[in-house]
Amino acid sequence: MRLSRWQKWLVVIIAVGGLLWLFERWRAGRENAYDSLIAAAAVKYGVEPALIKAVIWRESRFDAKARGRRGEIGLMQIMEPTARDWAKAENRLLLLHTELYEPQKNIECGAWYLRRLLARYTRTDNPLPYALADYNAGRANVLKWISGAAATNSAAFVQQIGFPSTRDYVESVMERHAYYRQRWRPPAR
């Protein structure tokens, strides 16, 4: 039996639709795979779970095996010095570099670090953009961008961010943070 031209197109459309449906199911499953770990770290470190999830979304797209160009590791793209600081603060004697691939440790370390960064900028109208810029580009760069109105006005600060990639990072994480705040409820602990 030969298919007519329109029947072939219909088969293609159905196949593409099926593939898109499968991809969306896979993406949604991956995006929600760490929700209980995010909720636990949020409670432990006093950081909003939607913020942790937004950072993970931007840093690794929920890939626990992600590795950055500068040695960042895991879901929250943790650097080794940050991991050492976290381990010291948690009274852990030893933290192996490979342990950062473990989702629970990576998320806890990232949540601890976010809390620390948010605390640095409490004298501003909104510490979030400052903390996110610090997370992405480092404190030295944030200190360069804080001048004039940007010292306390987060909107002015975002406009003064000197790296377009960091400005994009801050804006996209803040947008995703707002999205998760509205549409995602972490599991109850």
Residue 142 CB neighbour total at 10 angstroms: 25
What six digits make up the tokens of 37?
A: 């770990």
Tell me the C-alpha to C-alpha distance, in Å, between residue 54 and each of 72, 149, 179: 17, 27, 9
C-alpha 86: how far from its chain's center?
A: 18
Catalytic site residue from 31, 48, 59, 90: 59
DSSP result, 5-48 = HHHHHHHHHHHHHHHHHHHHHHHHHHHHTTHHHHHHHHHHHT--
Catalytic residue flag (residue 59):
yes
Write out the catalytic residue numbers: 59
